[in-house]
A and B are shown apart, each in its own frame.
Chain A
Amino acid sequence: MANVPEDLHYSKDHEWVRADGNVATIGITDYAQNSLGDVVYVEVPKVGDEFATNESFGSVESVKAVSEVFTPVAGEVTEINEELNDTPEKVNSDPYGDGWMIKIRMTNPGEVDSLLTAAEYEDFTKAERE
């Protein structure tokens, strides 16, 4: 059973969002990393780039496939996880912690409320599996 922390917001593209004031930290879920397999490369944008809701901000490459990753909320990138350059496997080992990808200053912090809750995301992945 995939780990789905209660305090996060989720997208149907399998990203999670941790909201702290107007800053959103974004990564991919445990379910997503598990489906992708061993992650070998993470491509992230640069600080200052701006993204609309659900825009592709980078990609995750595993031994199986390359997948786009999308911004569940709109805003400007304030920080990127440079550690992933050398240790992309952190996305597998700690998807909600060291495996975070970018931080975004949200244009509209209220936007997180439109995302899935932990319970809703669990139902969503369950339905997707079936």
Chain B
Amino acid sequence: MLNAIGLNTPDDLFASIPVDLQLRYHLKTPAALSELELLARFNEMARRNAGAERTSFLGGGAYSHYGPTIVDHIISRSEFFTAYTPYQPEISQGTLQAIFEFQTLVCQLTGMEVANASMYDGSTALAEAVLMAERVTRRSKVIAASSVHPQYLEVVRTYVQHAGIEMQLADFDKESGQIDNNLSDRIDEKTAAIVVQSPNFFGCIEDLAALSALAHSRGALLIVGITEAISLGLLKSPGACDTDIVVAEGQSLGVPLSFGGPYVGLFAVREKHARQMPGRLVGEAYDKQGRRGFVLTLATREQHIRREKATSNICTNEGLIALAATVYMETMGRQGLQEVAKQCAQKAAYAARCIQELPGFSIRFKGPRFNEFVVRGPANASQLLRKLAQEKRIDAGIALSRFYPNCENDFLVCVTEVNTRDQIDALVNGLSNA
């Protein structure tokens, strides 16, 4: 083979790498293992992952939900599993149909008119929404609630800092946990959008109808980000509240938790803004004989055609995870999703009620909530949480001090349908004895 390409030794293949950068010794890797030995080794490593064995009340952007086994079954099929985003789309009708169904379901879930083929995750989708608001309004300032997930805000900041967009933070009301009422004074003719998360990072539900009315009265858009997509099974949809751009993290929809990814971003807009939307878009079409088919549509927004004028430098989608979300939503159906959402809300309400009866504990915010809430404890929350994890094997929540100063005693608790009453009672017991 070397002869065929005109070389003498295998080293010639690496001639372009400077000699001092070439590895001249063997890597110290362990000897090969048999399959039996390998499985035993993996099992042993898995047993060391103590966190996976603890009862979890962790939320804050990543949620533990039940995923029906059919989700893994469908996405493991080789036709789907090996496919990347459709670059030669018309030959991949199955992939396109799945994406079309995903888009349809995202529209139904969010109450919006057009959804794209998905983004990387919720945070990058939020950043893209901000860039889109600037294109639609041709204004350069956005006002984001400081109760948006702090890591999402970091991602948005990363995106907009060199895009000529100024991001200002709006305080949250210390009583309700919702965005502050003084917001109105800060919106002017330069404001492209108000950005909120609902339920927000503290679990409080924002008054989206009032916020959209306020934004629209000044010619700005309302962008709503959602980290817990299951909440849409119960809450009034952002679309019904006249939201302009809805983005969400789709992990809750049948995607397991595994060290932070891969996740999937949902992105939905009003039809009048579809041309300013980032990402891929699948449309329905009919051939000469009237047979239904699927095509990539409005591709002129994308960078392989518009180059630097494209609506985004993302011209891919999170295909496999979007498929998982699609199968999840189709399996659960409208009713199933409502039931999951109800269970989350009711179990969270039960947990909150029990916790606030404990001496020294209170629920910090009065705003309406879904399945997460902030608990104010009697002492340093980080120490309390560490104690519970070590002694009771319960991950009771996320210490807010990690993101917000002056919140040493506060922690965020999340309850979903997978948490049993016994687990909740154990949490309450653990807190009362901590």
Contact = CB atoms under 8 A, between A and B. Distances in A.
Interface string B5-48: 00000000000000000000000000000000000000000000
B275 A66 contact: no
A66 B298 CA distance: 11
Contacts of B305: 66
Contacts of B306: 66
A50 interface: no
Contacts, number: 11
A90 B305 CA distance: 24
Contact of B138 (A41, A46, A61, A68): A46
Contacts of B174: none
A59 B138 contact: no
Nearest to A49: B138
A46 B136 CA distance: 11
B309 interface: yes
B300 A66 contact: yes
Contacts of B300: 41, 61, 66
11 contacts: A41-B275, A41-B300, A43-B275, A46-B138, A49-B138, A59-B309, A61-B300, A66-B300, A66-B305, A66-B306, A68-B309
A25 B275 CA distance: 25
Interface of A: 41, 43, 46, 49, 59, 61, 66, 68
Contacts of B138: 46, 49
Contacts of A61: 300
B285 to A, nearest CB: 13
Interface of B: 138, 275, 300, 305-306, 309
Nearest to B137: A46
Contacts of A41: 275, 300
Nearest to B306: A66
Nearest to A66: B300
Contacts of A59: 309
Contacts of A46: 138
For B138, B275, B300, B306, the residue with the greatest tally of chain A CB atoms inside 10 Å of its CB is B300
Given A46-B138, A66-B305, 9 more contacts: A41-B275, A41-B300, A43-B275, A49-B138, A59-B309, A61-B300, A66-B300, A66-B306, A68-B309
A43 B300 CA distance: 12
A66 B309 CA distance: 11
Contacts of A68: 309
A54 B341 CA distance: 56
A61 B311 CA distance: 14
Contacts of A43: 275
A51 to B, nearest CB: 14
Nearest to A56: B309
A34 to B, nearest CB: 20
